Chain A
Amino acid sequence: MVGADFHTHMILHADLDAFYASVAQRDDPALRGKPLVVAGSSRRAVVLTASYEARPFGIRSAMPLYQARERCAQLLVVPPDFTKYKETSTAVFKIFHDFARAVEGLSLDEAFLDLGDTSVDEALDKAHAMKKAVREATELSISVGIAATKMVAKIASDDGKPDGCTVVPPGTEATYLAPKPVRRLWGIGPKTEQRLLGYGIETIGQLAQLPGDRLHALFGRFGEDIRDLARGIDPRPVIEEWETRSISSEETFEHDVSDIAELDRIVHAQSAELAERLQRKQLRAYTVGIKIKLADRQICGRQTSLREPVDNAPAIARAASYCLHKTSITQPVRLIGVRVSKLAPHDIRQTSLFGAHAS
């Protein structure tokens, strides 16, 4: 272990505690202190988030709702409110950005923060200040883990839940991981875990000690990567924003739509929205397509490649409308969406002989 004032590159993993459930409890005092889950209302609904009060009953995310109800008779079920989650998440990420050089969002409630070269003490101060700022702005608690690598930071934040703040000082990663079960490691799913248990390998420490040939026999060419992870070695940096590969705009109708003219109007509106988003991101698209979900939930659609990339509403709408008319729509439409992909940076533009939107 190195001294507390030694500066090294540190990564912080932050995770909002039982996010959806906590938002519900925050906004409705009657729900506080009670076992509740956030879930949809369909017959096949699954638990999106369980409050900490529900967890002692064995209720977990992704569990079918009927099973959760079987385990806890007094369970409260709250429908999700994504608008609210999005608002809250935006506020929280704004705070993340105040404390980090770069923020890599993993979902609405989870992110990696690049703290840059810093000491353990400084990192801890930052973490506490950030937790306080999040609580003041949103009344929600976050758990944070700090380490020199992404994976260790995430494991550490999970260890401290809820409202935790766990630091793994640089140099102590392998020791920290060693006693933990192998399934905590990235890339070890239930199947691999069973296989490892079959060989008597239960802890990350045991995995880290395996000789090269055994690793190769177990994981093939990924053997060394897995051993590196088991030893706390993970060179992946925090990447500010994943490259945008496609952008889409979709709408599910309350009542299925059969009228092509109506669908065409919607496609035009969606194209305008996409144009705005492309322009904001300074991107242009070489491919435009539409996606249609029919009444029987069958999905169909078309896409078309363009010689010159587009970012303006008329051009996107023209291509999307073309795709719409080329798609054979055999039933009323339940959902329609426009998608632009093969995105290219905006910096170079082919000028046009007949004005910007020539056709």
Chain B
Amino acid sequence: MKFTCNAKDMAAAVTTASKVVNVHTTVPILNNVLVAARNGRVSVRATDLELTLENAIGAEVQEEGSCTVPARLFSGYLANLPAAKLQMQGTASRATLKCERSNYEFFTLPAEEYPPLPEGSSSGQFRVAAKTFRDAANGVTFAASSEEARGAVLMGTLLELDGTQATLVATDGYRLARYRLELAEPVSAPMKLVVPARGLGEVVRAASDGQIEATVVGGQANQLVFNTGDAKVSARLVDGQYPNYQQVIPKEFDKKVVASTAQLLAALRRAGVVAGDRASMVKLAMDGTSLVITASSDTAGNAYEEIDVERSGDPLTIAFNAKFLVEILNHIEFETVTLEFVGALNPAAIHPSDAKAAERQLYILMPLRQ
């Protein structure tokens, strides 16, 4: 293998891919990145077997081939190179790098031993605009569980595909986020996939403009490979039954409040400061045309916030974890937000007030009980 490329391009590709390198791995070759030169392109790949990242850069390829280089050494070296031409030559045991007047040799491991990308026939695929998918993923992944002890399923995001419609769902059992989006073309058969949060996060980072093409592959159809521009993200899908989320979304609500998103968010952030040591509990009391937010703590003091709202239905007082509410409101971009309720102990719905946006984006939040 022999090629010439821009040192900065190479540095970026190696740094991005090396993120998945697990320094505690017991498999030596997983400490390395795989560099492959083919068809006037150079790709850099790293994996921890759960998640694989690959980035391609333009290069002048003199001799096609591949080699593996220790990720930490390689990225440490590349990060300190000037924006100059880099020439790389690799064999099964050595990689030689020349840049201006520096000349390095790294010990490598044979490229054939590097775990191959998941193969097998595609058992389903979909295409979607990168920006749409990024918005959807950003809008739901925060609601997934971060507790390994509660299992991998709740730490993942459900991806439901049917016709031209895709639905992303994440929940930690206390709040639920649902985001619907249109696919570029209909899928051949409905699919339900649980994608680990880490994998989806990498897709969001890698996807810039254009399209994302995703393919389910692998012997047990257990890998989802996202192709977007020069980047490829392959994630092992989570095996397990996702909870029946539709069942917990109330069919009807009889109380409704419409508030300014910015005003409500600011009030909750302030009240949350006081609520901190009491399970972050804020009480929302709705009556007339006002929403009163209160919080109190033996150590911090008391909070009172009043904002004008549009309201319908009976008055209601309901308690929530302020942090959960703030996180949800942080993801609502519309200027007004609608909160819908059944009772003080029933799930509440939160969504942008705009009808079209509401169809897209929905949050369900469980209250606190005293």
On A, residues with C-beta under 8 Å from B are 288, 304, 306-308, 318-319, 322-323, 344, 347-354, 358-359
Pairwise interchain contact B248-A348, C-beta atoms closer than 8 A: no
> 14 A-B contacts, Cβ less than 8 Å apart?
A318-B150, A319-B149, A348-B281, A349-B369, A350-B174, A350-B366, A350-B368, A351-B367, A353-B171, A353-B173, A353-B174, A353-B175, A353-B248, A359-B150
Contact of B248 among A318, A344, A354 (CB under 8 A): A354
Complex: A132 Cα to B173 Cα, angstroms: 58
| Chain B count of residues within 8 A CB distance of the other chain | 29
Residues of A within 8 A of B248 (CB): 353-354
Closest chain-A Cβ to B171's Cβ sits at a distance in Å of: 6
Closest chain-A Cβ to B272's Cβ sits at a distance in Å of: 14
Closest chain-B Cβ to A15's Cβ sits at a distance in Å of: 35
Residues of A within 8 A of B148 (CB): 304, 322
Which residue of chain B is the closest to A288 with respect to CB atoms?
Answer: B149
Complex: A352 Cα to B145 Cα, angstroms: 13
Q: Contacts A353-B364, A354-B243 hold; do A306 and B370 have CB atoms under 8 A apart?
A: no
Q: Which of B239-280 contact A (CB under 8 A)?
A: 243, 248, 278-279
Residues of A within 8 A of B146 (CB): 307
Pairwise interchain contact B145-A307, C-beta atoms closer than 8 A: yes
Q: Contacts A351-B345, A353-B173 hold; do A318 and B368 have CB atoms under 8 A apart?
A: no
Q: Contacts A348-B278, A350-B279, A353-B173 hold; do A304 and B149 have CB atoms under 8 A apart?
A: yes
Pairwise interchain contact A304-B366, C-beta atoms closer than 8 A: no
Pairwise interchain contact B366-A307, C-beta atoms closer than 8 A: no
Shortest Cβ-Cβ A-B pairs, 3 listed = A322-B149, A348-B279, A358-B173
Complex: A288 Cα to B149 Cα, angstroms: 10
Q: Contacts A307-B147, A322-B149, A352-B366 hold; do A344 and B176 have CB atoms under 8 A apart?
A: no
Pairwise interchain contact B173-A352, C-beta atoms closer than 8 A: yes
On B, residues with C-beta under 8 Å from A are 145-151, 154, 171-176, 243, 248, 278-279, 281, 319, 321, 345, 347, 364, 366-370
Residues of A within 8 A of B321 (CB): 350
Pairwise interchain contact A351-B172, C-beta atoms closer than 8 A: no
Pairwise interchain contact B368-A349, C-beta atoms closer than 8 A: yes
Pairwise interchain contact A306-B145, C-beta atoms closer than 8 A: no
Contact of B279 among A304, A318, A344, A354 (CB under 8 A): A344
Which residue of chain A is the closest to B277 with respect to CB atoms?
Answer: A344
Pairwise interchain contact B367-A307, C-beta atoms closer than 8 A: no
Complex: A29 Cα to B148 Cα, angstroms: 59
Residues of A within 8 A of B175 (CB): 353
Residues of A within 8 A of B174 (CB): 307-308, 350-353
Residues of B within 8 A of A318 (CB): 149-150
Which residue of chain A is the closest to B319 with respect to CB atoms?
Answer: A348
Residues of A within 8 A of B345 (CB): 351
Complex: A347 Cα to B296 Cα, angstroms: 14
Pairwise interchain contact A354-B149, C-beta atoms closer than 8 A: no
Complex: A352 Cα to B176 Cα, angstroms: 11
Complex: A348 Cα to B176 Cα, angstroms: 20
Which residue of chain B is the closest to A305 with respect to CB atoms?
Answer: B147
Closest chain-A Cβ to B247's Cβ sits at a distance in Å of: 9
Residues of B within 8 A of A322 (CB): 148-149
Pairwise interchain contact B279-A351, C-beta atoms closer than 8 A: no
Complex: A352 Cα to B171 Cα, angstroms: 11
Residues of B within 8 A of A349 (CB): 368-370
Q: Contacts A318-B149, A348-B279, A358-B243 hold; do A307 and B368 have CB atoms under 8 A apart?
A: no
Residues of A within 8 A of B243 (CB): 353-354, 358
Q: Contacts A348-B368, A353-B171, A354-B243 hold; do A359 and B154 have CB atoms under 8 A apart?
A: yes
Residues of B within 8 A of A308 (CB): 174
Which residue of chain A is the closest to B176 with respect to CB atoms?
Answer: A353
Residues of B within 8 A of A306 (CB): 147, 149
Pairwise interchain contact A351-B149, C-beta atoms closer than 8 A: no
Complex: A252 Cα to B319 Cα, angstroms: 44
Complex: A351 Cα to B172 Cα, angstroms: 12
Contact of A304 among B147, B319, B347 (CB under 8 A): B147
Residues of A within 8 A of B364 (CB): 353
Closest chain-B Cβ to A307's Cβ sits at a distance in Å of: 6
Pairwise interchain contact B151-A353, C-beta atoms closer than 8 A: no
Residues of A within 8 A of B145 (CB): 307
Contact of A351 among B147, B151, B366 (CB under 8 A): B366
Closest chain-A Cβ to B11's Cβ sits at a distance in Å of: 35
Which residue of chain A is the closest to B146 with respect to CB atoms?
Answer: A307
Complex: A354 Cα to B145 Cα, angstroms: 14
Complex: A166 Cα to B262 Cα, angstroms: 68
Complex: A350 Cα to B321 Cα, angstroms: 8
Residues of A within 8 A of B176 (CB): 353
Complex: A308 Cα to B281 Cα, angstroms: 13
- Looking at A307, A353, A354, the one whose CB has the most chain B CB atoms below 10 A away is A353
**Other A-B pairs, 8, CB within 8 Å; known A308-B174, A322-B149:** A288-B149, A304-B148, A306-B147, A307-B146, A344-B279, A351-B366, A353-B175, A359-B150
Contact of A353 among B149, B281, B366 (CB under 8 A): B366
Complex: A61 Cα to B194 Cα, angstroms: 63
Pairwise interchain contact A354-B369, C-beta atoms closer than 8 A: no
Closest chain-B Cβ to A305's Cβ sits at a distance in Å of: 8
Residues of B within 8 A of A319 (CB): 149
Closest chain-B Cβ to A320's Cβ sits at a distance in Å of: 9
Pairwise interchain contact A307-B149, C-beta atoms closer than 8 A: no
Which residue of chain A is the closest to B320 with respect to CB atoms?
Answer: A350
Complex: A354 Cα to B364 Cα, angstroms: 12
Which residue of chain A is the closest to B323 with respect to CB atoms?
Answer: A307
Complex: A347 Cα to B278 Cα, angstroms: 9
Residues of A within 8 A of B278 (CB): 348
Complex: A160 Cα to B227 Cα, angstroms: 85
Complex: A217 Cα to B242 Cα, angstroms: 68
Which residue of chain B is the closest to A306 with respect to CB atoms?
Answer: B147
Closest chain-A Cβ to B194's Cβ sits at a distance in Å of: 14
Residues of A within 8 A of B319 (CB): 348
Which residue of chain A is the closest to B245 with respect to CB atoms?
Answer: A353
